[in-house]
A and B are shown apart, each in its own frame.
Chain A
Amino acid sequence: MSMTTPPLFQAHGLTKIYGAGESEVRALNGVDLELFAGELVVLLGASGSGKSTLLNILGGLDVPTEGSLHYAGEDLTHADEKRLTQYRRDSVGFIFQFYNLIPSLTARENVALITELAENPMSPEEALTMMGLGERLDNFPSQLSGGEQQRVAIARAIAKRPQVLLCDEPTGALDVKTGIAVLEAIEQVNRSTGALVVIITHNAVIASMADRVIRFSDGRVANIEQNSQRQPAAALSW
């Protein structure tokens, strides 16, 4: 990845404090970080190390207590709720451990729900076919396996062609085989759309498919590792 292009995200002294006084928790404690378009980044760290908090702030679900965050040159630190909603709507795709599909909508409709909001989306069929679900367009979530549901969630996240794809433990609820299939799908999105992909995981094996691996500890970046070669997801096993 070229580090000469301007970064997509620029974080300076990013700090998030929950609670106050005795019960004060510093979830993030002064994080400086740059993330670039097109790269695939894995965030590793123990529970409570701050990686999820960072993801939430990057995704516009939360705002930092101190420090600053810029996205494509725009200051998100002081964005209001309305602007953050717009930001999520236009630029960010989310994938969660629990797929969070709307149970009353079919696979196709779950995706369509998002593409209706977007400026220049793929068609729901295209997104789902990309995820290998071309045959299951009209199935409801309750008729799909866990892996299939997660792939619908990915299709939903990528259909609007986001600049950023944020994945929080995307394989956490899946078996190895299905997990790898899901990672392949994410990898494919990264390669074909050029989106910045950030994956949070407990699973260190996944780190080898990343361009960069960022380790978190106590709310700080412990180290950043550049992989000389990305492993294809298909080659992983755990």
Chain B
Amino acid sequence: MRPLDLKLVRDLSRMKGQMIAVALVMACGLAVMVMARSLVLSLGGSIDEYYQAHRFAMVFSELKRAPNTLRTQLERIPGVAAVDTRITGALRLDLPAMKEPADGVIHSLPDDRPQQLNLLFLREGRLPEIGDRYEVVVSEAFARAHGFRPGDSVEAVIYGARERLHIVGVGLSPEFVYELQPGQMIPDPKRFGVFWMNERKLASAFDLSGAFNSVVVDIAPGANAQAVMAALDRLLLPYGGQVAYDRSGHVASKQIADEIRQLVQFSIAFPVLFLSVAAFMTSAALTRVIRLQREQIAQLKAFGYSSAAVGWHYLKFALVIVLLGSVLGSLLGLWMGQSMTEVYKRFFQLPGLPFRPDWLALALGFLGAAALSLLGVIGAVWQAVRLPPAEAMRPEPPAAFRASLFERLGLQRLASPTLRMALRNLERKPWQALFTVLGLTLATAIPILPGAMSDSIDYLMDFQWNQAQRQDVTLSLIEPGSASALSAIGQLPGVMHVEPFRSVPARLRFEHRERRVSLTGMGRDSQLGRVLDVQGRAVAMPLQGMLLSEKLADVLGVSPGDTVLVEVQEGRRPVLEVMVVGSITDFAGLGAYLDIDVLRRHMREGGTLSGAHLTVDKAYWDAFLAKVKEAPRIAGLSISANVRASFEETTGEMMGIMQGIYLLFAVIVACGVVYNGARIALSERSRELATLRVVGFTPREVTGVLLSELAMLTVLALPFGLYAGNQLTQLMVELSSTETVRFPLLFTTRTYASAVLVILLSSALSFIVIGRRIRQLDLLGVLKARD
């Protein structure tokens, strides 16, 4: 090894604490970047390949019933590359292991022609064959949740008829990468599954022989999707067609796209923050080293080393730190990415989700970190090498101080000499102080995020299940029912209170914006299924006009007073102009609400209902469920307690992981920044501190002198940190707010207090380490050395 490199190794090993502190902060930023970019690559790559290989459709349309002969006409629409017509419907499953029924959707597989789109991926078993039995392929998530294998069978109610379904295969479809039951917030594979059956068999079950009720279309490259959808709508309208939608309106596809979009945002914001702090730390640490080695630099130059060689030598200090940070960050990032891939595997149903490390991101991260760090030290290096050797060999002139602003304001009597030293030091190096405060601000801000998220989820659960949806059970009917259906529901065992609702699919249009939503009619003074305002107060259904979820109002760009065009997609399909009279707060999906009787009048219906919210006497619970399992006209039931439990379980686990990671990051940044700052101060002022020790200050008092400065900066950073954490959380909540799911933003004293605690404890930890170094200070050596 060349002597200069040997010097590099020895010098670095003397400052290994600082080197590790900086590298760890850097590693946090790079880890998030490597993790997020790798996940984008893994998830995005797998999903693209899956969509491609299994020919995920681009346009979707639901209708009432159309003859199979219409298919040829659909194929002739200009711009259509492929068409599949099919039958879809809901089914209810009676599983011996569960008291309550589970829900499912079932799709037909063509048996007289090859399937064109949304091809199944068979994990095991085979496709259904035509025969006497009802053979089905079941979705993998549901099969796994219940331990189903080919050869098993399950009892189901299809269109009111009880049938035994024989599982012959376990599979996946690009249509169901995210198996979310309509109306739910997160997937629950135990209570919702997807099934595929032969077309002819399913047609007879749904009474749709020779007909179809769903269309999926592939668009030719370069063709206009809007035109195709318009043509589709025109052709299907006579057959009860609902408006066609593309992948942006497809729940599963949208969910995964949202997830990828969030990862991309994440992969930029976090690394930039962390790498900036790390670059400042490198800069501060190395500037100090270069100052201390002023004479060595002069000597090296006197011996004949060029300025470039000496400059490069000092830049290598930064590079070694960056390299260390990059290696740690990459390892951590790859590990985190791999773990997150496993989590994703449970949320997203894909044939495979291999973890693909994004080496390019890793390389870019390294280069970015190196560039930022070099930028931070290049000034000090330049200053050092520019100095003529003779001048550099003389000690630096003594530091010039003056009275601090505090004292110039005439407040000096309030300050002890120790405090004055600290204040004057801070004022002499405002940049160093500023960056230390910035680093600590970041460290304080980070733990706010998981704290606020956890509070947010608590609030959401209370809002959703204690305030808004107070029913025990929600029943939905296969077909809209009449007043007699309502009384039948009321007569189920144990039912104490029934509130009917009527919901119809509708397209809402305002100016050029539109959304497909479910338009729900509710009783004016509902006690179970309620809509709430932002304060969580119940909002009564208006006599005229409708209420929109805030998000929907936002997406459509409407405010109270605006009139929205409502195209109902069911029954007599009225097209209405309805005034928006207010907005309501909800956290999942997009909803539009109006009075149930108003909706019925628009639909020209009597006392119809699509389903009902119920409270059930717990004493009759089992009897109630048993009866519901038997009832042919009930399409599905959703038990609030189960939904809540599964939401709690899923988010709870995620929150645990997130909290751990954020806490780790906060501790690393806080410890790193404080330790680095204290080490620099210690090295700059060792002579001063040794003097104090010699004249009789105890180690504790000397530590106080050194750390009062850092303590002041820590305290100064706290309010900024809390504010920044507030803003950061707000940003994260905005970024993660989608049309599918949103989170309320709220901050509690507990969140702020725990962030403050994290910072104070981390600082205290660094102070203890520094205090030990002060004890070991070589009093004589320091004093004998020339400044």
Chain A residues near B (Cβ < 8 Å): 56, 59, 61-62, 82, 85-86, 88-90, 92-94, 96, 98, 100-105, 109, 112-114, 116-117, 140-143, 156-157
Contact = CB atoms under 8 A, between A and B. Distances in A.
Contacts of A140: 400-402
B559 interface: no
- Across the A-B interface, the 4 shortest Cβ-Cβ residue pairs: A89-B696, A100-B691, A88-B696, A104-B424
Given A56-B780, A105-B417, A113-B417, A94 B694 contact: yes
Contacts of B688: 100, 102-103
B428 interface: yes
B401 A90 contact: no
B420 A104 contact: yes
Contact of A62 (B424, B780, B783): B780
Nearest to A149: B398
Contact of B417 (A59, A101, A109): A109
Interface in B333-373: none
Given A102-B691, A104-B420, A142-B398, A117 B696 contact: yes
Given A104-B401, A142-B400, A114 B695 contact: yes
B406 interface: no
B695 A156 contact: yes
B391 interface: no
Nearest to B404: A104
B694 A103 contact: no
B399 interface: yes
A142 B694 contact: no
12 contacts: A85-B699, A88-B694, A90-B696, A100-B691, A103-B399, A104-B425, A104-B428, A105-B417, A112-B417, A117-B697, A142-B399, A142-B400
Interface in B404-431: 417, 420-421, 424-425, 428
Contacts of B2: none
B687 interface: yes
B709 to A, nearest CB: 10
Nearest to B425: A104
Contact of A105 (B420, B428, B695, B699): B420
A142 B696 CA distance: 24
B706 to A, nearest CB: 12
B417 A116 contact: yes
B786 interface: yes
A79 to B, nearest CB: 14
Contacts of A92: 696
B692 interface: yes
B544 to A, nearest CB: 74
A109 B691 contact: no
A96 B696 contact: no
A61 B696 CA distance: 10
Contact of A61 (B425, B692, B698, B780): B780
Nearest to B395: A98
Given A98-B786, A142-B397, A142-B400, 15 more contacts: A61-B694, A61-B780, A62-B780, A89-B697, A94-B694, A96-B783, A100-B690, A102-B421, A104-B399, A113-B417, A113-B695, A114-B696, A117-B696, A140-B402, A141-B398
Nearest to A144: B398
Contacts of B687: 100
Nearest to A87: B696
Nearest to A100: B691
Contacts of B692: 102, 113
B787 interface: yes
Interface in B672-699: 687-688, 690-699
B398 A103 contact: yes
Contacts of A156: 695
Contacts of B779: 61
Contacts of A113: 417, 692, 695
Contacts of B399: 103-104, 142
Most chain-B CB neighbours within 10 Å: which of A86, A105, A143? A105
Interface string B743-782: 0000000000000000000000000000000000001100
Given A103-B401, A104-B401, A156-B695, A98 B783 contact: yes
A117 B779 CA distance: 19
Interface string B686-719: 0110111111111100000000000000000000
Interface in B425-452: 425, 428
Contacts of B695: 88-89, 93-94, 113-114, 117, 156-157
A117 B701 CA distance: 11
A163 B283 CA distance: 47
B421 A105 contact: yes
